[in-house]
């Protein structure tokens, strides 16, 4: 379910960057989050662990926002 994916992404990003969960929405872009390469690696690890979806940190640059990541995970894991 897309909402569950968003919740896990919000928690991971919030923990890594100290950003309030409510400030991380489907429309939030990675540039708004100021994610560095280590943050992207953490995000990729969480996605692989939680959803068995293989992404590379460099794959994330092709996504415009958090919703794009949620959609990718949803498609790849058939949730």
What are the tens digits of pLDDT across the range 9-59? 999 899 888 999 999 999 999 889 988 888 888 888 988 998 999 888 888
Which pTM value belongs to this model?
A: 0.84
Task: Classify burial at 5, counting beta carbons within 10 Å of its beta carbon; exposed 0-12, middle 13-18, buried 19 or more.
Answer: buried
Q: Which domain holds residue 55?
A: 2-77
Q: Compute the distance between CA of residue 33 and CA of residue 47 in angstroms, rounded to an integer.
A: 18
CATH number for the domain harbouring residue 16:
1.10.1200.10
Residues 60-75: pLDDT tens digits? 888 989 999 999 999 8
Ordered DSSP codes for 19-45: --GGG--TT--HHHHT--HHHHHHHHH
Q: Considering its fold, how many domains does the chain have in total? A: 1
Tokens of 77: 């894991």
Q: Which of 13, 66, 19, 63 lies closest to 38 in space, CA to CA?
A: 13
- Are residues 70 and 53 in contact, defined by beta-carbon separation less than 8 angstroms? no
């Amino acid at each position: 379910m897309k909402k569950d994916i968003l919740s896990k992404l919000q928690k991971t990003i919030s923990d890594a960057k100290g950003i309030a969960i409510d400030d991380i929405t489907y429309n939030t872009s990675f540039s708004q989050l100021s994610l560095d390469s280590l943050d992207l690696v953490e995000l990729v690890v969480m996605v692989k662990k939680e959803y068995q979806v293989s992404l590379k940190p460099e794959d994330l640059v092709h996504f415009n926002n958090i919703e794009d990541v949620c959609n990718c995970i949803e498609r790849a894991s058939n949730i």
